Structure formats: structure tokens, C-alpha cells
Amino acid sequence: MQTTVDRPVDAVEKVLGEVPVPPYVTQQHVQLAMRAVLQHGPESWPTGPLCRSDLTPYPCRLHRWGRAVLRTRGMTDRAVDDLIARAERPARVPDGRR
């Protein structure tokens, strides 16, 4: 998955602007950022990729915020993309045999 440009693309985003990154990023911010990045990932639509959570053009405000928070803690965009790819892989269900 390729990283997209970090800029507002929705009318609501143009009014509200970006979600600010806290000046001191705590472990709780990192946990919320990881959840935001995973929950607000891209979903294919005929009009182009949309956020799977709020159906705004991808990347939405919360996805961009999550990436920005993770960047402040030293996580690269490639590492975030790898995290998303691992989370989207189907889980292997054991067949129940011993």
C-alpha cells in the first residue's frame, strides 16, 4: 500500500482543519494513534479509496493524525503501512485436530 499525500480533501476538513498532535505524546496517544490508523484505513470504492470508518476520501483526519503521532515516536510510514497490512491479513483459524 502506498502512502498518500497528507492534506485535507473533504469539505468538513477544510473547515475544521487538522487534528493537532499533542506536544507530549504519551503511551495512550500511541495506542489511540494505532487504533485510528487501523480503523480509518482505506477501502476501495468506484470513486476511489475512502476511509472505511467514515467514508470520507482517504486518508481522513483521524488516519492522518494517527500517522503524525506515530511519526513523532519514530515510526516510519513504511512501518505503519506494514502494521496495516499485517492487521488486514485474514486470521488463520485452527482446524481443531490434535
pLDDT tens string 67-78: 999 999 999 999
* Domain with 72 in it: 25-88
- Give the Cα-Cα-Cα angle 48, 57, 12 (nearest 5 degrees): 150
36 in a structural domain: yes
83 in a structural domain: yes
Alpha-carbon 50 to chain mean position: 12
51 in a structural domain: yes
pTM of structure: 0.77
33 in a structural domain: yes
7 in a structural domain: no
3-class secondary structure, 56: coil
77 in a structural domain: yes
66 in a structural domain: yes
34 in a structural domain: yes
Count structural domains, the chain: 1
Per cent of the chain over pLDDT 90 is: 55
pLDDT at 1: 46
